[in-house]
Amino acid sequence: MIKELHEKLKNKEITAVQLAEEYFDRIEKKDKEIFAYLTLTRELAMEQAKRVDEKIARGEEIEILEGIPGAIKDNLCVMDVRTTASSKILDNYIAPYDATVISKLKENGAVFLGKTNMDEFAMGSSTESSAYGPTKNPYDLERVPGGSSGGSAAAVAADEAVWALGTDTGGSIRQPASFCGAVGLKPTYGRVSRYGAIAMGSSLDQIGPITKTVEDAAIILSAIAGEDKYDATSAQSANKDYTDYLTGEVKGMRIGIIKEHLEGLDENVREVIEKVIETYKNLGAEMKEIELPYAKYSLPVYYIIMPCEVSSNLARYDGIKYGMRANDHKDTELDFNPENRTLLENYFDSRRYGLGAEVKRRIMLGTYALSAGYYDAYYLRAQKVRTLIKQDFEKAFEKVDVILTPTTPSPAFKLGEKTADPLQMYLEDIFTVIANIAGVPAISVPADPVETEGKKLPLGFQLMGKWFDEENLLRAAHAYEINK
């Protein structure tokens, strides 16, 4: 898709400004219903597009991403643009700097259409915890787009953006990609700088692309990857063009499958995944059964480590340094006369009114698990199991090149279906959190749709790769995509 648009721009079949206008027109028509976007950045987009058109008019060569319009998840800082992370507490926050991924995309000449809706602070699997209301799944408006990068996935699915950026702490790129028929890539921890991403769980967070095709994901990854002096956990990596690895070939590639993962699955989902396995076999890949004995602890480990990091990362939202303060809430009974209030009361009330229920739940869980007396039993223990899970992967990757699993236990569920029961919502993450725990790269690729209540709903499968081996991961994903 990006390559085709690039050719059109190069051949002057369309200008970058026209292309951006086309997307804004579609957003205007469709987004009232879908609500993928929180903020549109029309002025910025037009400025960026004009610059590309001027370059073309001067007869200069343009790079692959120049003039290609995309969307940015609202937890990534874009300078001078409102950045809320879908939380009331950041309702009026204007980012004073660009995240590293944003400066890189700007340097690459990409065009930014706007900021997308998400679960508040990226906590959720449905985009329903957004303080601004839920995004709808473009394939069925009664269903969720997944989350937390639901706005980004819906924007790509509804052709309201060519590409989008998401963040993934436990599945937030891959799960919505699965629900919206898109490709979602979570790179290796350290592959992409996290500088300027509003932190959720710092040892788990990664930024990555949501796109229509694997090739497009490879193009975006090539633009955003690399070491960054502002993120000490970002790793050295040679400047690579990841599209070079998309050969369409998987002959001899060793693909691991985990039997238990398939056994408990819903019948329809299992059929789809088994067909994916068949496709790989037909392409000459070698399917190997593997075991990850500690995988069954990944969900409990995630739901200890992540809230601990959340409780620490979100301590900064006290109503003083960022965003809104308690007395921005005019509709309360509180006495906001500063003479009658203490600093502590301001902290408490800013958080009480500024943060949503799910965010508060996680701050409390994390604070509890980190408190003296419980730290050893929960946090420390979870960290130890995390190491065991990593060792499982080390062993598995001696035998196989990539691992194939479902991305999600089912296609998109209905709005409201899981909001009353947080545990049901957390179970959405059963196949995805393990990649964040181990830090390995993982991608969700659209498989065949699943017939549900008379509708065909998209469903993805997941591939996980070795640390810093996005090359083989993307190659395997692409080979399926072009041969299925």
At 446 the three-state DSSP class reads strand
In terms of phi and psi (left: phi > 0; alpha: psi -120 to 50; beta: otherwise), the region of 236 is beta
Choosing from 129, 148, 178, 311, which is the catalytic residue?
148
Choosing from 86, 129, 130, 172, which is the catalytic residue?
172
- Which residue among 148, 188, 213, 350 contacts ligand GLN (CB under 6 A)? 148
Name, in order, each residue with C-beta under 8 angstroms of 448's C-beta and a sequence gap of 6 or more: 272, 275, 459, 484
DSSP structure class, residue 176: H
* Residue 444: CB minimum distance to ligand GLN, A: 12
410 given a catalytic annotation: no
- Which residue among 66, 98, 228, 429 contacts ligand GLN (CB under 6 A)? 429
Decide: is 178 part of the binding site for ligand GLN (CB under 6 A). Answer: no
Q: Are 224 and 216 in contact (CB under 8 A)?
A: no
Stretch that binds ligand GLN, among 82-90, 166-174, 243-251, 368-376 (CB under 6 A): 166-174
148 given a catalytic annotation: yes
Burial state string for 148-171 with b = 16 or more CB within 10 A and e = fewer than 16: bbbbbbbbbbbebbbbbbbbbbbb
- Which residue among 103, 125, 152, 407 contacts ligand GLN (CB under 6 A)? 125
- Which residue among 2, 64, 72, 123 contacts ligand GLN (CB under 6 A)? 123
Query: CA 403 to CA 469: how far, in whole Å?
Result: 12
Decide: is 228 part of the binding site for ligand GLN (CB under 6 A). Answer: no
Decide: is 206 part of the binding site for ligand GLN (CB under 6 A). Answer: no
Closest of 125, 140, 157, 120 to residue 36, by C-alpha? 157
Main-chain phi, psi angles of 242, to 5 degrees: -70, -15
Decide: is 185 part of the binding site for ligand GLN (CB under 6 A). Answer: no
At 242 the three-state DSSP class reads helix
DSSP structure class, residue 454: T
178 given a catalytic annotation: no
Query: CA 327 to CA 92: how far, in whole Å?
Result: 13
Q: Report DSSP letters for 311-357, one per residue.
A: HHHGGG-SSSSSS--GGG-TTS-----GGG--HHHHHHHHHHHHS-H
**How many chain residues bind ligand GLN (CB under 6 A)?**
13
* Residue 349 or 358 with smaller CB distance to ligand GLN: 358
* Sites for ligand GLN among residues 280-339 (CB under 6 A): 306
Decide: is 122 part of the binding site for ligand GLN (CB under 6 A). Answer: yes
Decide: is 127 part of the binding site for ligand GLN (CB under 6 A). Answer: no
* Residue 115: CB minimum distance to ligand GLN, A: 16
Stretch that binds ligand GLN, among 86-94, 122-130, 132-140, 275-283 (CB under 6 A): 122-130
Decide: is 209 part of the binding site for ligand GLN (CB under 6 A). Answer: no
Stretch that binds ligand GLN, among 107-115, 118-126, 325-333, 383-391 (CB under 6 A): 118-126
Residues binding ligand GLN (CB under 6 A): 122-125, 148, 168-172, 200, 306, 429
Catalytic residues: 73, 148, 172
